């Protein structure tokens, strides 16, 4: 955090020199700058490296972004990561493994991925609904049920595969 571009440059150069004295190296290729809306963005040069200006970045597994849409994008990202974790376990969910073991695997390996960082989110009914819809879709896929609709009565019946 810096009050001006000059302060930022001084802080980063000081940090870099102190780090080098202790044997640490700051990877300037991975270092990014994010400006608050009312500051005119300018690329900062630190130790002859031009730092990239970004509007958002992932820090400790969460998207950091200024503005109100931060939580919505983070929830969508966590749902995508949850589906990726679910996909890695698809072989477990498709085998003839007892349902209690499938549920335990889901609760231990997929839900923590989807709910990582939820302590810092501000929840609304819509955001909570998004997570619940994704969780239900994953559970339906895990249970491997087919929905069969009787065309005469238009009543659906759930039939196991």
pTM of this prediction exceeds 0.75:
no
For the cut 50, the answer to whether the pLDDT of residue 8 exceeds it is yes
Question: Residue 53 has which token pair?
Answer: 């200006």
Taking only the tens place, the pLDDT of each residue in 84-130 is: 999 998 888 777 788 888 889 899 999 999 888 777 777 788 888 98
- Residue partners of 112: CB distance under 8 A and separation at least 6: none
- The backbone torsions φ and ψ at residue 12, rounded to the nearest 5 degrees and listed phi first, read -65, -40
**What does the pLDDT read at residue 145?**
46
Question: Residue 130 has which token pair?
Answer: 């998004």
């Amino acid at each position: 955090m810096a009050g001006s571009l000059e302060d930022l440059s001084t802080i980063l150069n000081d940090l870099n020199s102190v780090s080098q004295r202790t044997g640490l190296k700051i990877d300037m290729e991975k270092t990014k700058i994010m400006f608050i809306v009312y500051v005119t963005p300018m690329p900062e040069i630190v130790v002859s490296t031009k730092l990239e200006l970004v509007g958002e970045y992932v820090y400790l597994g969460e998207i950091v972004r200024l503005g109100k849409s931060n939580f919505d994008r983070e929830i969508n990202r966590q749902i995508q990561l949850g589906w990726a974790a679910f996909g890695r376990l698809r072989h477990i969910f498709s085998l003839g493994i007892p349902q209690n073991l499938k549920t335990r695997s889901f609760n231990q390996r997929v839900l923590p991925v989807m709910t990582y960082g939820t302590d810092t989110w501000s929840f609304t009914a819509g955001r909570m609904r998004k997570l619940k819809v994704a969780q239900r879709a994953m559970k339906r896929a895990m249970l491997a049920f087919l929905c069969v609709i009787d065309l005469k009565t238009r009543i659906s019946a759930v039939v196991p595969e």
